[in-house]
Structure 1
Amino acid sequence: RMSSPLPGSRQGHLDAAAAAHSDDLRNGGAAYCESLAVITDDWVRSLFEAAVSEYAPAKSRFALLAVGGFGRSELAPWSDLDLLLVHELKGKKTAPAVEAVASALWYPLWDAGVKLGHAVRTVKEQLTIITADLDSATALLTARFLAGDTDLADEVTTKGRASWDKQSGTFLAALRARVRERQDNAGDVAYRLEPDLKLGHGGLRDVQSLKWAHQSGLSILPEDLVELERCYDVLLGARVALHRATGRPGDILRLEDQDSTAEVGGWNDADDLMADIAAAGRTIAWLVDENWGRSVAIADRLPDRAISSGIVLRNGEIELADGANPVADPTLVLQAAVAAARNDCRIGRSTLDRLHDEVEPWKGTWPVGATAQLVALLLEGHRSIRVLEALDQRELFARLLPEWEPNRSKPQRNAYHRFTVDRHLWEAAANASQLVDRVARPDLLVLGGLFHDLGKGYPGDHTIVGMELVRQVGPKLGLPTADVDTLVAMVEHHLLLPDVAVRRDLTDEATINQVAESLGSVERLDLLHALTEADSLATGPSAWGSWKEDLVNELAARVRHVLGGGNVAEVTWSLFPDASTLMLMAAGEIAMHRKDDVITVVSPDSAGTFSQVAGVLSLHGLDVLTARAHSDEQGMAASEFRIILPEDGIAWRTLKTDLGRALAHQLAIESRLVERAKTYRRRRRTQALQPEPPQVVFHDGASSNATVIEVRAVTKIGILHQITKAIGELGLDIRHATVHTIGIEVVDTFYVRTSAGELVTDKFHRKEIQRAILHAAT
Structure 2
Amino acid sequence: MQQVIDSIKSQAEQSLIPALRAAEDQTERAVLIKSFIKVEDRKIRDMHDAGAGGQRVAGARSAMLDAAIHAAFITTEERLSPKGKVKVAVTSVGGYGRGLLNPGSDIDLLFILPVNSTKIATLTKTLIQEILYLLWDTGFKVGHATRSISESIREAKAEQQSKTALMDTRYIAGNEAMVDKFITTFRRDCIQKNPEAFFELRRNDISSRHKKYSHTVFLQEPHVKESCGGLRDYQNIIWVANVERGTCNLEDLVKEKILTKGAYKELEAAYDFIHRVRNELHYHTGRSTDILTLQLQGVVATNFQYPEKSILRRCESFMRDYYRHTRAIFNHTNSLMEIFHIEIQENDKVSSWLKFIPKPQKKRSEHDGFVFRDGRIYPKHSDIFKNDSGRMMRVFQEAQRRNHTLAPIMRRLIKENISLVNEEFLFSKANRETFRAILERKGDVAHILRAMHKVQFLGKWMPEFGMLDCLVQHEFFHRYTADEHTLRCIDQLDALVEDQRPERSVYRDILMSFTDPYALYLALILHDTGRAENLREHTDGSAVMAARVCSRYKIKGARRSLMTFLVDHHLTFWKYATNKNLEDPEVIEEFAGIMKTTERLEALLLFTYADSNGTNEEAWSPWKESLMLQLYRSTRSFLTNGKNQYEAEQQEEMQKLKKVTKSILREKYHEQLDLHFERMPEQYFRYRAPESIAIHVRAVRRYLIKDEKAEPGFQSSDLRWINRDDRGYTELVVTTHNRPLLIEKVACALAASQINIIAANVYTRTDGITCDIFHVCTEDQLPVTNANTKKKVEDTFSELIQQEDYQPEKHLKKKRNFLQRDSSDGGIPFPVRAFVNNHASQQHTAIEVQALDRIGLLHDLFLEIGKSGLATVHARICTEKGAAVDTIYVNHLDGTKVTDQDEIQKLEYNIQKLVGFEHAE
TM-score using structure 2 length: 0.78
Does 2:855 correspond to 1:717?
Answer: yes
Greater Cα offset, 361-370 or 117-126: 361-370
Counterpart in the other structure of 1:251: 290
Q: Which deviates more from structure 2 when the two are superposed, residues 178-187 or residues 713-722?
A: 178-187
Deviates more, 1:461-470 or 1:276-285: 276-285
Q: Does 1:426 align with 2:487?
A: yes
* Partner residue in 1 for 2:22: none
Task: Tell me if 1:363 matches 2:423.
Answer: yes
Residues 247 and 420 from structure 1, CA distance in 2 versus in 1: closer, same or farther, beyond 3 angstroms?
same
Structure 2 partner of 1:747 = 885
Question: Cα deviation per residue 1:468-491 (whole Å; 9 max; x = unaligned)?
Answer: 111111111221144333322212
- Which shows bigger deviation, 100-109 or 750-759? 750-759
Q: Distance between the aligned counterparts of 2:416 and 2:172, measured in 1?
A: 46
**Aligned counterpart, 1:457:** 532
1:524-543 to structure 2, matched below 5 A, reads 524-543=600-619
**What are the within-5 Å matches in structure 2 for residues 66-85 of structure 1?**
66-85=92-111
Please show how residues 172-321 of structure 1 align to structure 2 within 5 Å: 172-188=199-215, 190-217=217-244, 221-223=258-260, 226-268=265-307, 269-294=314-339, 295-296=341-342, 297=345, 299=349, 302-305=362-365, 309-320=368-379
Query: Alignment partner of 2:467: what SS?
Result: helix
- SS of 2:565's equivalent in the other structure is helix
Alignment of 1:682 with 2:794, yes or no, is no
- Quote the offset at 1:693 in angstroms: 4.8
Give aligned-pair identity as a percent.
23
Closer/same/farther in 2, CA of residues 9 and 416 from structure 1, 3 Å limit: farther
Which of 368-377 and 415-424 deviates more?
368-377
User: Residues 376 and 222 of structure 1: is their aligned pair in 2 closer, same or farther, counting only changes over 3 Å?
Assistant: same
Closer/same/farther in 2, CA of residues 90 and 73 from structure 1, 3 Å limit: closer
Question: Following the alignment from structure 2 to structure 1, what is the Cα–Cα distance between the partners of residues 462 and 908?
Answer: 47
- Within the candidate set 61, 66, 69, 1:41 is matched to 66
Give yes or no for the alignment of 1:645 onto 2:783.
Answer: no
Q: Give the drift of 1:131.
A: 1.7
- Pairing 1:447–2:522 present: yes
Q: In the TM superposition, what is the alpha-carbon distance from 1:9 to its structure 2 partner?
A: 4.8
Shift of 1:771: 4.5
Q: Would the alpha carbon gap of residues 204 and 605 (structure 1) be closer, same or farther in structure 2, given more than 3 Å must change?
A: same
| Pair 691,699 (structure 1): closer, same or farther in 2 beyond 3 Å | farther
Contact persistence 1:192–1:419 (CA under 8 A): yes
- Count residues with an aligned counterpart: 768
- CA deviation after TM superposition for structure 1 residue 229, in Å: 3.0
> Does 2:829 align with 1:697?
no
Q: Secondary structure at the match of 1:74?
A: coil
Q: What are the Cα deviations for residues 121-146 of structure 1, in whole angstroms up to 9, with x where unaligned?
A: 22222222112222322222222222
**Contiguous gaps of at least 5 residues in structure 2:** 1-30, 247-252, 308-313, 350-359, 497-507, 651-682, 705-716, 724-728, 917-921
Q: Could you list the runs of 5+ residues in structure 1 that have no partner in the other structure?
A: none
Q: Shift of residue 503 of structure 1? A: 0.5
Give the distance between the partners of 1:627 and 1:218, measured in 2 at CA. 65
Distance (Å, rounded) in 2 between the aligned partners of 1:345 and 1:586? 65
Tell me the distance in 1 between the aligned counterparts of 2:835 and 2:749.
Answer: 24
Is 1:516 aligned to 2:516, yes or no? no
Residues 29, 92 of structure 1: alpha-carbon distance in 2 compared, 3 angstrom cutoff: closer
With normalisation by structure 1, the TM-score equals 0.91
| Shift of residue 35, structure 1, vs aligned partner | 2.1
DSSP 3-state at the match of 1:217 = helix
Corresponding residue to 2:769 among 636, 659, 663:
636
Matched, 1:621 2:754: yes
Change (3 A) 1:751 1:186: closer
What is the CA–CA distance in structure 2 between the aligned matches of 1:716 and 1:378, rounded to whole Å?
44
CA distance in 2, matches of 1:323, 1:231: 28
Query: How far apart are 1:728 and its partner, in Å?
Result: 2.3
Task: Report the Cα distance in structure 2 between the residues aligned to 1:415 and 1:528, rounded to whole angstroms.
Answer: 23
- Greater shift, 169-178 or 319-328, is seen at 319-328
Q: Secondary structure at the match of 1:541?
A: coil
Question: Quick one: which amino acid aligns to residue 581 of structure 2?
Answer: D
Contact 1:61 1:149 in 2 (8 A): yes
Structure 2 match to 1:407: 468
Amino acid of the structure 1 residue aligned with 2:80: Y
- Please give the alpha-carbon distance, in whole angstroms, between the structure 2 residues aligned to 1:6 and 1:142: 25
- Partner residue, 2:310: none
**1:542 alignment partner, SS class:** coil
1:115 Cα deviation after fit? 1.4
Comparing 510-519 with 550-559, which one deviates more in the overlay?
510-519
Structure 2 residue corresponding to 1:388, chosen from 449, 474, 477: 449
SS in 2 for 1:631: coil
Question: Partners of 2:49 and 2:914 in 1: how far apart?
Answer: 49
Q: In the aligned structure 1, how far is the partner of 2:816 from the partner of 2:117?
A: 59
Encode CA deviations 1:653-675: one digit per residue, 9 max, x unaligned: 3223323333344996512344x
Q: Give the alignment's Cα RMSD to 1 decimal.
A: 3.1
CA 143–661 in structure 1, closer or farther in 2 if over 3 Å, else same? same
Rounded to whole Å, the distance in 2 between the matches of 1:605 and 1:201 is 56
Residue 620 (structure 1) shift: 0.7
Separation (CA, whole Å) in 2 of partners of 1:451 and 1:5:
63
Partners of 2:219 and 2:475 in 1: CA distance:
10
Paired residue secondary structure (1:773): helix
- Equivalent residue, structure 1, for 2:154: 128
Deviation at residue 226 of structure 1 after TM alignment: 4.9
Cα displacement string for residues 162-193 of structure 1 (whole angstroms, at most 9, x for unaligned residues) = 22222322222222211122223344561222
Give the CA deviation at 1:443: 1.5
Worse-matched range after superposition: 179-188 or 124-133: 179-188
- Which has more helix, going by share of residues? 2
Q: Any idea what SS the aligned residue of 2:88 has? A: strand
Deviation, 1:628, is: 1.2
The aligned counterpart of 2:77 is 52
Per-residue Cα deviation, 1:184-206 (whole angstroms, up to 9, x for no partner): 33445612222111112222112
Change (3 A) 1:261 1:278: same
Range moving further from structure 2, 643-652 or 146-155: 643-652
Q: Judge conservation of contact 1:337–1:387 (CA < 8 Å) in 2.
A: yes
- C-alpha distance in structure 1 between counterparts of 2:121 and 2:769, whole Å: 85
Cα distance change, pair 119–695 in 1 and its aligned pair in 2 (3 A): same
For 1:483, which of 534, 559, 562 is the aligned residue? 559
269-278 or 287-296, which moves further after superposition? 287-296
Q: Shift of residue 400 of structure 1?
A: 1.0
Question: Which residue of structure 2 aligns with residue 544 of structure 1?
Answer: 620
Moved more, 377-386 or 53-62: 377-386
Residues 733/585 of structure 1: CA separation in 2 closer, same or farther (3 Å cut): farther
Tell me how far 1:290 sits from its aligned partner. 3.1
Find the aligned partners of 1:118 and 1:240 in 2 and give their Cα distance.
23
1:286-333 Cα offsets, whole Å, 9 max, x none, are: 333333344051656533245x64544222202345799435644422
Paired amino acid for 2:431:
A
How far apart in 2 are the matches of 1:497 and 1:273? 34
Report the alpha carbon displacement of residue 721 of structure 1 after superposing the two structures with TM.
Answer: 0.8
- Larger Cα Rg: Structure 1 or Structure 2? 2
CA contact 2:76–2:127 (8 Å) conserved in 1: yes
Mean CA deviation greater in 419-428 or 285-294 = 285-294
Q: Does 1:760 align with 2:898?
A: yes
Q: Which residue of 1 aligns with 2:721?
A: 594
